[in-house]
Amino acid sequence: MSFFIMMFILLVIAGLIGWLNYLLLERRFAVYRKPVVRYTYLVITASAVVVMMYTRGRNLSPMNPDDEVYYWLLYMALAWLVGQFVLILLQLFCYVTEWLLGLRKARPATPQSNQSVMTRRSFLTGMATVLPIISVGTGAKGIYEAQAEMVVQQYRLTFPNLPDHLQGFKIGQISDTHLGPYFSLDRLNTALQLVKEQKPDVLAITGDFADDLRLLKPALERLDQLQPSIPLGIYFCIGNHEYIRDAERFRAEIAKSKAVLLENDNRLIVAGSQPLYLLGVDYPGSDVARSALDISVNRRLQCFAAANQNTPTNAFKILLAHHPDFLIDGFAAQIPLTLAGHTHGGQLIIGGKSLFNTHVYMRGLYQENGVYGYVSSGAGHWFPLRLGCPPEISMFTLTS
């Protein structure tokens, strides 16, 4: 199923849920039975679906000032449609709560018990009146988290036998910027300024860097400007969106910059009795389609073996990968630190749990057998909505 067909189906479902929400509200509140309210609600829902479809096809760009009005329309439509999904869940919660409390049963009651029932019913009815506001507010909050917030995750990683020359070594990670409609060059500047303030020794960018290839060259120019502040360099590994867009163009532009692409390769970063090596792997797409979400386990193992080849047995290694399944290989091979991305941390987190928990290693720091793996929530996204999972850059300091 293509991405656009999937989006169309989701938008149709959102429209149907909006219609169902209205029917439930109409049963509960008299105000929703008024024709003007009915038509306003349904027209807003239908308009939101149309706006989403149109703006997806328009190929919005932060480089085009004329697209600003469409961004505002898109964000309002998205807030409304996400609100419909939230609203249906809240309405179902209210109906189940009323059923459990017996408020939906018509039964004889004493004046005292009837008063208690009415008090509970009045409370739930009063709460239900604000559900549409809460729902749309949740959608708006998700857009704000995605587009306005950016956090710096700080980790001190302990290694008992860390040599003196690696004490305090700091590596920064940026992942999944998805430069394009929802991650502009200005947004990249914000992320790079945060990196500069943290003063890492080396910066790793773990894939899915640019979706709009018009932004690729100016973005790499900004990284070149940052390079003097990163003493030991900026290193890339490749992600699935590089293949979706144009992997060869990505490789060619990286080759013209000061950054280094590690593609099933490694690089000596710090010499010494226990040298530090960076290892970088390709995206292990399936043999049928390298750009697909499906990956090949055999290809993944081949990528890791190639990246680890010819490295000293006593080296301190940091593995850069896009897909989080490489944490499996990092833990098995006792790689001290594996950095990955791809998942966006789930992007929608409710009660501490991702709604899309599709990977063994989904988000944050993991430790197995005395070594570490980290899956970044990403600095950007290709869909401008996050809940409980703000965009991030990450910093790791080595210590004993």
Q: Give the pLDDT score at 123.
A: 53
| φ and ψ at residue 381, rounded to 5 degrees | -175, 160
Helix (H, G, I), strand (E, B) or coil at 260: strand
- Residue 19 CB-density burial (10 A; 0-12 exposed, 13-18 middle, 19+ buried): middle
Number of Cβ atoms within 10 Å of the Cβ of 161: 8
pLDDT at 105 over 60: no
Helices (H), 287-334: 297-308, 326-332
- Percent share of the chain, pLDDT over 90: 62
Helix (H, G, I), strand (E, B) or coil at 97: helix
Helix (H, G, I), strand (E, B) or coil at 295: strand
Least confident of 133-137, 201-205, 342-346, 387-391: 133-137
- Residue 82 CA to residue 78 CA, distance in Å, equals 6
| Backbone angle region of 175, left / alpha / beta, with phi > 0 → left and psi within -120 to 50 → alpha | beta
Number of Cβ atoms within 10 Å of the Cβ of 152: 14
Q: 106: pLDDT confidence band, cut at 50, 70 and 90?
A: very low
pLDDT at 290 over 60: no
Nearest 10 degrees: CA dihedral of 241, 246, 252, 253? -60
Cα angle 78, 149, 201; round to 5? 135
| φ and ψ at residue 155, rounded to 5 degrees | -135, 135
Instruction: Answer for the pair 169, 201: CB distance below 8 angstroms, yes or no.
Output: yes
Q: 117: pLDDT confidence band, cut at 50, 70 and 90?
A: very low
Number of Cβ atoms within 10 Å of the Cβ of 178: 22
Instruction: Answer for the pair 288, 254: CB distance below 8 angstroms, yes or no.
Output: no
DSSP string, 348-376: BEETTEETT--SSS-SEEEEETTEEEEE-
- Residue 45 CA to residue 65 CA, distance in Å, equals 27
Instruction: Answer for the pair 241, 178: CB distance below 8 angstroms, yes or no.
Output: yes
Least confident of 75-89, 199-213, 268-282: 75-89
Least confident of 107-116, 141-150, 244-253: 107-116
Nearest 10 degrees: CA dihedral of 95, 101, 106, 108? -170
Number of Cβ atoms within 10 Å of the Cβ of 359: 17
pLDDT at 170 over 80: yes
Instruction: Answer for the pair 386, 145: CB distance below 8 angstroms, yes or no.
Output: yes
- Sign for the CA dihedral angle at 135, 139, 144, 150 comes to positive
Q: Which residue ranges make up each domain of the chain? A: 3-144, 152-399
Amino acid at site 160:
P
CATH 3.60.21.10 fits 152-399, yes or no: yes
Place of tokens 């990163």: 230
Higher pLDDT, 252 or 131: 252
pLDDT at 118 over 50: no
Q: Give the pLDDT score at 306.
A: 97
Higher pLDDT, 55 or 247: 247
Q: Give the pLDDT score at 3.
A: 54
DSSP annotation of 63 reads T
Question: What is the mean predicted confidence (pLDDT) over 268-288?
Answer: 91
- The interaxial angle of helices 247-256 and 216-226, nearest 10 deg, is 30
Q: What is the pTM of this model?
A: 0.87
Q: Which residues of 296-326 are buried (b: 16+ CB within 10 A; e: fewer)?
A: beebbeebbebbbeebeeebbbbbbbbbbbb
- Residue 140 CA to residue 75 CA, distance in Å, equals 8
DSSP annotation of 318 reads E
DSSP annotation of 141 reads H
Mean model confidence pLDDT for the chain? 88
What would the 3-class secondary structure string for 18-69 be? HHHHHHHHHHHCHHHHCHHHHHHHHHHHHHHHHHHHHHHHHCCCCCCHHHHH
- Sign for the CA dihedral angle at 183, 259, 394, 231 comes to negative
Tell me the pLDDT tens digit for each residue of 332-371: 999 999 999 999 999 988 877 787 778 899 999 999 989 9
- The interaxial angle of helices 3-28 and 35-58, nearest 10 deg, is 170
Q: Give the pLDDT score at 300.
A: 95
